[in-house]
A and B are shown apart, each in its own frame.
Chain A
Amino acid sequence: MENVIYFDNNATTNVAPEVLEEMLPYLKEFYGNPSSMHSFGGKVHKKLEEAREKVANLLNSSPTEIVFTSCGTESNNFAIRGVLEANPEKKHIITTRVEHPAVLNVCKYLSKKGYDVTFLKVDNKGQIDLDELRDSLRDDTAIVSIMYANNETGVIFPMEKIAQIVKSRGIILHVDAVQAVGKIPIDLSKLPIDLLSSSGHKLHAPKGVGFLYIRRGTKIKPFMLGGHQERGRRGGTENVASIIGLGKACELAMNSFEEEMTKVKGLRDKLENFILENIPYTHVNGDRENRLPNTTNVSFEFIEGESILLMLDKYGICASSGSACTSGSLEPSHVLRAMGVPFTLSHSSIRFSFSRYNKEEEVDRCIQVLPEIIDRLRSISPFWNEKKGKNFKKVEN
């Protein structure tokens, strides 16, 4: 596709050219199995371990604590179910209402299987109440699973405080950091998180690879049984090329935090500020103070998100929406609903998520076409026309 303006980097990212470069030899000539005894396989093994080191470095952890998986969803399943299996006497789980389905649906499933699950509330900024977390901890709490940063709003949870509260009771803490890894620095030598999930394709590595950080000494059962790969914690021949790509991507991310905080944040802020200042009845969803530098979630009142996306798509601009219509379900985003965002706003929410590969011209192009798109759709909307007319009645939910 020509002229794609890709503002949907929380959904997936492009593979960095350096990453692809690093991977190619392992898809071509170096096809050996890292478990083999011969030196042809041994060479691959060595490269694999280098990648593990790079991943560990990004989080300031040790390579032996990194287990490669196939994706973020697998990492989340592994973490939660692996801990429960290793601690069968504990029947309580704590998570939040705004988790990604890869955690939420695991927890819902477990609650049907006899586990007691506490789903922590969030306020209208998308933040949890730390007192509620503290009060929910029980002697039989097996695991607390809380995301680092929200995929829809970019809201970052106060992880230091969360970790302190949970660890003061000696309970295992799992963090779904799929959206945070590579975007903001995470230092696991200071942050007492036990398990942390991540996915390659959110940080410019390919799809189909992820990892789970397992702090040394954490009681957890393997999720995938098989060979002795990953020190017996995850059987199955390694996705060698992708893991090597992931290692490279982590190395690149290490050196890009500065760029994330300046360039990427700058692009995000430029678009966001333009919208808020120039398009009436627009609102940013989520805590603007504690947010990923690359994400904005904006509601355009009185119109529906899917129609905005379709119009943007015509100009090659990719974004996503929390509206019901885009998801195939009939309910708008569970995250916005949990935050108490009124229906009027959640149906009209659009998420723009940037990466260091975006350019300022792209933001300018979006700024050029967006007001007209919103105007056009609003001119069709009965609610907008009512709003403009005198007989406007506020629609309450």
Chain B
Amino acid sequence: MWEYSEKLKDHFFNPRNVGRIDDADAVGEVGSIACGDALKIYLKIRDGVIVDVKFETFGCGSAIASASALTEMIKGKTIEEARKITNKDIAEYLGGLPPQKMHCSVMGWEALDVALKSYEGKGKGVEHVEKEDEGRIVCHCFGVPEGLIKKAIVENDLKSVEEITNYTKAGGGCGSCLMDLEEILKETRREMEFENKVKKCIESEIRPMLMRDGGDVEIVKVEGEKVYLKLKGMCAHCPSSTYTLKAFVEAKLKESVSENLEVLEG
């Protein structure tokens, strides 16, 4: 028997917000019967606030509880706030999940993501967003795209293929995708390390220097070896901002992170 927390059991035996919303503004649907679990959430959105939410799910105890928890967490939140919620928050809300059940929380995260994207993409109405921006399907047994695997690794600091399986199910079937997962894990960990180094350098060396002159800088995103930054404060208006970025910031990052690094304005 699984070790389930009291809170999880409560959400399983008394799930909140069960049902559907016929005129929902956004719907997020993930999973399938074949995979063993599926979740559909319906959102009602007014002025950027999630005013109502309902769900239907097919799954085990922790899947039902995760879905129930998610709906409670996002009700009354703005879209912005809801977007910040990840699977970790869902698991925490429930007082933790057994490791092999983490994929239930990831399913909630995924469904929310799909719902919000459908809302943004189409303005309103019920649309199913395909997983196209999630990249190729890596695990065919469970239909898990590369994007989701990477997201789960980064968000949960996953360190092994086994953990990837616990969180996303990828690799839990025939096992033919295990080599791919190993590659993705290595690659993602490398990227994470790179990003961490960039962050560290900016925090400890670059920002203090800029702030001395009333300026500041923010990381927009890191893609491969390209670092997108935005200058802020005094720097933002400084006519020599591009120069600052290239000559000072980039030079510094190159020196402490990698020779091939490139800084761009984001």
Contact = CB atoms under 8 A, between A and B. Distances in A.
- Co-complex (A, B): yes
Interface of A: 302-307, 310-311, 313-314, 323-326, 328-332, 343-344, 347, 379-383, 385, 395, 397
Q: List the 5 closest A-B pairs by CB distance, nearest first.
A: A330-B172, A325-B60, A306-B60, A382-B56, A343-B34
Nearest to A311: B13
B12 A310 contact: yes
Contacts of B61: 306-307, 310, 325
Nearest to B15: A380
B32 interface: yes
Nearest to B56: A382
Contacts of B1: 313
B58 A330 contact: no
Interface in B30-45: 32-34, 36-40
A381 B34 contact: no
21 contacts: A302-B58, A304-B36, A306-B60, A307-B63, A313-B1, A325-B61, A328-B100, A329-B172, A330-B142, A330-B169, A331-B172, A344-B34, A380-B15, A380-B58, A381-B56, A382-B38, A382-B56, A382-B58, A383-B58, A395-B32, A397-B34
B173 A330 contact: yes
Nearest to B20: A385
Nearest to A346: B36
A323 B1 CA distance: 13
A332 B64 contact: no
Contacts of A397: 34
Nearest to B172: A330
Given A307-B64, A310-B12, A380-B18, A330 B36 contact: yes
A307 B169 contact: no
Interface string B92-105: 00000000110000
A380 B63 CA distance: 11
- The majority secondary structure among interface residues of chain A is helix
B33 A383 contact: yes
Contacts of A379: 18
B165 interface: yes
A382 B14 CA distance: 17
Given A330-B36, A330-B142, A330-B165, A314 B13 contact: yes
Given A307-B12, A307-B64, A382 B165 contact: no
A331 B38 contact: no
A331 B173 contact: yes
Contact of A382 (B34, B40, B172, B173): B40
Contact of B56 (A325, A332, A380): A380
A381 B12 contact: no
A330 B142 CA distance: 9
Interface in B44-61: 56-61
B221 to A, nearest CB: 33
A268 B235 CA distance: 79
Contacts, number: 80
Interface in B156-175: 165, 169, 172-173
A324 B56 contact: no
A347 B36 contact: yes
Given A307-B64, A310-B12, A347-B36, A325 B58 contact: no
Q: Kindly name the residue among A303, A307, A313, A324 whose own CB sees the greatest number of chain B CB atoms within 10 A.
A: A307
Contact of B36 (A310, A332, A395): A332
Contact of B60 (A307, A331, A380, A381): A307
A343 B36 CA distance: 8
A59 to B, nearest CB: 35
A336 to B, nearest CB: 13
A347 B1 CA distance: 17
A304 B20 contact: no
Nearest to A310: B61
B148 to A, nearest CB: 15
A347 B36 CA distance: 6
Contacts of A302: 33, 58
Contacts of A343: 33-34, 36
Contacts of B142: 330
B36 A381 contact: no
Contacts of B36: 304, 323-325, 330, 332, 343, 347
A381 B64 CA distance: 10
B56 A304 contact: no
Contacts of A385: 20, 56
A305 B167 CA distance: 20
A296 B72 CA distance: 39
A302 B58 CA distance: 7
A35 B127 CA distance: 77
A364 to B, nearest CB: 23
Contacts of A328: 100
A381 B58 contact: yes
Given A302-B33, A307-B60, A330-B165, 6 more contacts: A302-B58, A307-B61, A331-B172, A331-B173, A380-B64, A382-B38
Interface in B63-80: 63-64
Nearest to B100: A328
Contacts of A303: 58
Nearest to A378: B58
Contact of A381 (B57, B100, B172): B57
Given A329-B172, A395-B33, A304 B59 contact: yes
Nearest to A347: B36
Interface in B114-165: 142, 165
